[in-house]
Amino acid sequence: MNICVYGASSNQINDIYISAAEDLGRAIGKRGHSLVFGCGASGVMGGSARGAKEENAKIIGITPKFFNVDGMLFEECSEVIFTDGMRERKKLLEEMSDAYIIAPGGIGTFDEFFEIFTLKQLSRHTKAMAIFNV
């Protein structure tokens, strides 16, 4: 199963959230699932990817080309898909995932959450969604 984790890409978030994201990534990997995420190296995004990597999970990063600058992207993804912009990124995150976990984050995380939640309310998908309450 491909599990999408939405969350903060910034390190300007309490370390408890990053640590919890690492645990989440490990749990995804231990269960034999793949992580789909926005490809960020920092914050909750980076934490979930590091945890998944520790358990040898497949990690699929999806990111706009303009984020491909030094240190911004998680460099140990199994696969990286570059998009032209944020809309295409969100579409691929939605399409390539079998379930969604919304972890602590900011405005971008809220945007992603409300879009997939709205689509679920409109019966455009029936995939599982969970809010990761740390």
**Contact at 8 Å (CB) between 66 and 86?**
no
Q: Which pLDDT score, from 0 to 100, does residue 62 have?
A: 98
Tell me the C-alpha distance between 17 and 83, whole Å.
27
Rounded to an integer, the average pLDDT of 38-48 is 98
- Residue 57: pLDDT band (50, 70, 90) is very high
Torsion angle of the four alpha carbons 65, 70, 71, 77, in this order, in degrees rounded to the nearest 10? 50
pLDDT in tens, 67-116: 998 889 999 999 999 999 999 999 999 999 999 999 999 999 999 999 99
pLDDT in tens, 20-30: 999 999 999 99
Q: Which pLDDT score, from 0 to 100, does residue 70 have?
A: 86
Give the Å distances, CA to CA, from 90 to 20, 43, 48, 64, 99. 23, 19, 18, 10, 14
